[in-house]
Amino acid sequence: MARKFTPKVLTANDLLEGDVIYMTADGQWVRDHASAELIEDETIADMRMLTAQGQQDHIVGPYLADAKAGPNGPEPTHFREEFRTRGPSNYYHGKQADTSKESANV
């Protein structure tokens, strides 16, 4: 039996900034995990991954990361992905310091 597919978000780093980005349901790259598409079907996941691989002129290192549904959108399930939504813990740098969620589209 195939391993059960667990929900995922598609994530990568932005080519110019290096910042963590996520793919939305309409194929946009955004900086906010909660705005990402929660992919619950393996076939769709594979398709999204293929799309991303074709976009490597402005993104780097796309991969599927485990996530779960939350009240405001997908939430990470592993601590590494949680850190990626925030930034480092020793300084208030990275996403946690980003005041402009609205201007987050890349």
Partner 1 sequence: MYKYSDFDEAFVRERCAQFRGQVERRIDGSLTEEEFRPLRLMNGLYLQLHAYMLRIAVPYGTLRSDQMRQFAHIADTWDKGYGHFTTRQNIQFNWPKLKDVPDILDALADVQMHAIQTSGNTIRNTTVDHFAGAAADEIADPRPTAELIRQWSTDHPEFQFLPRKFKIAVGAAKHDRAVLRAHDVAVELVEEDGQPGYRIFVGGGLGRTPMIGQVVRDFLPKADLLPYLEAIVSTYNLLGRRDNKYKARIKITVFENGLDTFRDLAEAEFARIRDGFSGVDQDVLADLERQFALPAFKNADPSALSAAVAVDPTLAAWVARNTNPHKVETHASVTISLKEHGKTPGDASSEQMRVMADLADAYGYGELRVSHEQNIIMPHVAKADLPAVFTALAKVGLATANAGLTSDIIACPGMDYCALATARSIPVAEKIALRVQELGLEQEIGLMKIKISGCINACGHHHVGHIGILGLDRAGVENYQITLGGDGTENAAIGQRTGPGFAYDEVVPAVERLLKTYLEKRETAEETFLDAYRRLGADPFKEALYGDAKKNAA
Minimum separation from the CB atom of position 81 to partner 1 (A):
10
Residues touching partner 1: how many (CB under 8 A)? Answer: 25
For position 13 contacting partner 1 by CB under 8 A, the verdict is yes
For position 7 contacting partner 1 by CB under 8 A, the verdict is no
- Residue by residue, DSSP assigns the chain as -PPPPPPEEEEEEETTT--EEEE-TTS-EES-GGGS--B--HHHHHHHHHHHHTTTTTEEEEEEEEEE--TTS-EESSHHHHHHHH--SSSS-GGGG---SGGG--
Q: Which of residues 27-56 bind partner 1 (CB under 8 A)?
A: 56
Q: Could you count the other beta carbons within 10 Å of the beta carbon of residue 18?
A: 9
Minimum separation from the CB atom of position 32 to partner 1 (A):
14
The residue from 27, 54, 61, 70 that contacts partner 1 (CB under 8 A) is 61
Q: What residue ranges bind partner 1 (CB under 8 A)?
A: 13, 15-20, 56-57, 60-61, 77-80, 83-84, 87-91, 93-95
